[in-house]
C-alpha cells in the first residue's frame, strides 16, 4: 500500500510543476494549496533534496524548485525514494534475508513478475503525464 509519504511527495512535485514561476516556492504555500501539514512535508522533502529531485534554498525568497522539466521525472523514482522501495513482498526487499525455501518456492516467480509489472508501470509515467490526466 502506497503511504502518504509517496503520495504527498508526488503532490508537492505536481504543485511545483503547475505553479512553476522559475523562482523558489516556499513549502508554506504548497502546504496551504494542497491542504497538507507543512511540518510533515518538511520531513519528506530532505530525501528529495538528497537525491537531486528538487533544489531547496533557505532564507527569504527561498523554497523549493524543480531541477528538471516535468517530462524527465519518473513516478517510479519518486515513489521508490519516498517509500523506500516498491517491492510487493518482503523477500524481494533490499534487506532480503534470503529465504531458505526460495529455491523451490512456488510463489516467488509470481511476486517477481508482479514486482516487474509494478516497476514498469510507475516508471512509464512522468510528472508531465500526471498533469494532463487524459494521458493516464
Identity of the residue, 46 or 124, whose beta carbon is nearer to a second copy in the bound complex: 124
CB atoms within 10 A of CB 63: 19
In whole angstroms, what is the distance from residue 83 CA to residue 41 CA? 14
Q: Nearest approach, Cβ of 54 to a second copy (angstroms)?
A: 17
Binders in 62-91 for a second copy, by CB under 8 A: 75, 87-90
Between the CA atoms of 112, 115, 116 and 122, what dihedral angle is there, to the nearest 10 degrees? 180
24 belongs to the binding site for a second copy (CB under 8 A): no
CB of 9 to a second copy, least distance (A): 11
Residues interacting with DNA, by CB under 7 A? 3-5, 24-28, 37, 39-40, 42-43, 45-46, 49, 56-64, 90
CA distance 55 to 39: 18
Work out the burial of residue 78: count CB atoms within 10 Å of its CB; fewer than 13 is exposed, 13-18 middle, 19 or more buried: buried
Using CB under 8 A, list all residues that contact a second copy. Answer: 1-2, 7, 10-11, 14, 35, 75, 87-90, 101, 106-107, 109-111, 113-114, 117-118, 121-122, 125, 130-131, 133, 136
Amino acid at each position: 500500500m502506497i503511504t502518504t509519504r509517496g503520495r504527498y511527495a508526488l503532490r508537492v512535485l505536481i504543485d511545483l510543476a503547475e505553479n512553476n514561476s522559475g523562482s523558489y516556492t516556499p513549502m508554506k504555500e504548497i502546504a496551504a494549496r494542497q491542504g497538507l501539514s507543512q511540518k510533515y512535508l518538511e520531513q519528506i522533502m530532505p530525501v528529495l533534496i538528497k537525491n537531486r529531485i528538487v533544489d531547496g534554498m533557505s532564507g527569504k525568497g527561498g523554497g523549493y524548485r524543480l531541477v528538471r522539466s516535468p517530462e524527465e521525472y519518473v513516478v517510479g523514482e519518486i515513489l521508490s525514494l519516498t517509500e523506500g522501495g516498491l517491492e510487493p513482498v518482503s523477500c524481494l526487499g533490499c534487506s532480503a534475508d534470503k529465504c531458505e525455501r526460495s529455491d523451490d518456492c512456488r510463489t516467488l516467480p509470481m511476486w517477481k513478475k508482479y514486482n516487474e509489472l509494478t516497476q514498469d508501470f510507475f516508471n512509464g509515467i512522468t510528472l508531465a503525464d500526471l498533469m494532463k490526466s487524459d494521458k493516464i
